[in-house]
Amino acid sequence: MDWLTARVISKRDETPRVRSIVFDCPMWKGHMAGQHVDIRLTAEDGYQAQRSYSIASSPEDDHLILTIERLQDGEVSPYLFDELAPGDELEMRGPIGRHFAWTPETVGPLMMIAGGSGVVPFRAMLRHRRANHVVTPARLVYSARTIRDVIYREELDDIEGPEGTEVVLVLTRAQPDGWKGFDRRIDAEILSEVTWAPGDKPKTYVCGPTAFVETVANCLVDLGHEPESIKTERFGPTG
Amino acid sequence: MAIISRGFIGRRPEVDPSRLPPGQYVAHDFPVLSAGPTPRISLDKWRFEMTGLIDAPRSWSWDEFNALPSETVTLDIHCVTKWSKLDTTWTGVSVDTLLEGVVTEATHIMASSYGGYTTNLPLADVMGGRAWVATAYDKQLLHPEHGGPARLLVPHLYFWKSAKWVRGIELLAQDQRGFWERNGYHDYGDPWREQRYWGD
């Protein structure tokens, strides 16, 4: 798979620790919602580092968007977050990962469960779904520490409602005054309340840190969901 | 010609660079990657089976498998998602031991796992002391998240070839694609030639 040149068009703040980067990548051949890319940075002495990032944009969007969480001890993400500026170029290749992908032809309700920046591929799925006027129900359950840590907050507010899309926020560390939603880490009880019954044959996607994905996937199997109906994407603390 | 990222310094590996394949970095934790939930496998029912192009299929129960001669090896592993982990210690049964005396015309194998995962490899790559079925990591029973009760261990290829929760090996007359290989990943997966994806 060839490395392509991608040029930064703009950057925007999503949360204090998360930024989206909008790229122009003329040779990009398209992707499915849920896939990711590899990016490669080269230092002046030739040293190179590569990392994978989920694609935040829908296949129909004009530009490719990556949403990057700045990891404190990261090698690549602090550079992307702090230094990379509009007009800069870097190498990118993809799309990668045909397993954790959703297409409008997918049968059954779409259940998305995100921890932290695990919400990124689901933004692509939600936008793709809306662009294709898909009417099977979709539900995003999204666990973040605080309301300030919710990525795409306005867009998620906006996307809720039409075409049977629901967004359920779970705020684990602090909640705004008057918060009526879930206020603890996702557990079996929350999942039994917010997921469809196994008999409804949902297609479930879980993305987030390893411990989050393990917990959620195990609880879903306990609740009677077929392991084959659950797709997982995990990321570790390195990066 | 690579694009230089002005101001990007990066973190040079603190190990002998010749131990790190291109595009990899050293991980100090042990990341977990799998396509679905961790399968639940009861040791009473666990079996390891060798099937396909073989004069007589072979099968071991957990106790039988653990009675086989085992080896403890320390080696480096390389995941296609870019992390490498150096000097990892595993205990398991060499695939040479499992294949001892087998008469076959097979050229490839398909490893299959509890939970439905599969991965393909040339038969030669799991012979000659280069592959194991590991049941312990760091002298401890292999944790389910990392593939326990048993996983294939083929450290000279990207780590998705080291199938977690392995339940058997099928001997094949020709190459067929496994799970990730059908989903865009390279058929062979040599980290030193950076064979990550189709076309690499």
Please write the tens of the pLDDT for every residue from A149-192: 999 999 999 887 767 899 999 999 999 999 999 999 999 999 99
Give domain status of residue B22, yes or no.
no
- Domain assignment present for residue B5? The answer is no
Min Cα distance B66 → chain A (Å) is 28
Q: What pLDDT was estimated at residue A73?
A: 87
With respect to residue B21, please indicate whether it lies within any of the assigned structural domains.
Answer: no
Give the chain B residue nearest A46 (alpha carbons).
B4
Domain ranges (residues) in chain A: 4-96, 110-235
Check B197 against A96: CB less than 8 A apart.
Answer: yes
Cα separation, A67 vs A61, in Å, equals: 15
Q: Give residue A161's pLDDT.
A: 72
Span B92-147, pLDDT tens digits: 999 999 999 999 999 999 999 999 999 999 999 999 999 999 999 999 999 999 99
Q: What is the mean pLDDT of residues A7-18?
A: 97
Question: How confident is the model at residue A239, as a pLDDT?
Answer: 34
pLDDT on residue A196:
97
- Tell whether B81 is covered by a domain: yes
% of residues, chain B, pLDDT over 90? 90
Chain B residue with CA closest to A206: the answer is B36
Compare CB distances from B37 to A2, A48, A230 and report the shortest one's residue. Answer: A230
Q: Please state the ipTM of this predicted complex.
A: 0.91
- Assess if residue B55 is contained within a domain: yes
Q: Looking at residues B161-175, what average pLDDT do you find? A: 97
Q: Please count the structural domains in chain B.
A: 1
Tell whether B18 is covered by a domain: no
Q: What's the CA dihedral at B115, B119, B125, B127 to 10 degrees?
A: 30
- Which architecture, in CATH terms, is A110-235? 3-Layer(aba) Sandwich (3.40)
Q: Taking 90 as the threshold, does the pLDDT of residue B17 lie above it?
A: no
Cα separation, B151 vs B54, whole angstroms: 22
- Candidate from A93, A98, A232 with C-beta closest to B37: A232
Enclosing domain of residue B135: 42-193
pLDDT bucket at A238, cuts 50 / 70 / 90: very low
Per-residue 3-state assignment (H helix, E strand, C coil) for B62-108: HHHHHCCCCEEEEEEEECCCCEEEEEEEEEEEEHHHHHCCCCCCCCE
pLDDT value of residue A236: 58
- B102 is a domain residue: yes
Q: Are B154 and B78 in contact (CB under 8 A)?
A: no
CATH of the domain at B78: 3.90.420.10
pLDDT at B33 > cutoff 80: no
Q: Of A118-122, A183-187, B26-30, which gets the smallest average pLDDT?
A: B26-30
Average pLDDT over chain B, rounded to whole? 95
CATH superfamily to which A4-96 belongs: Translation factors (2.40.30.10)
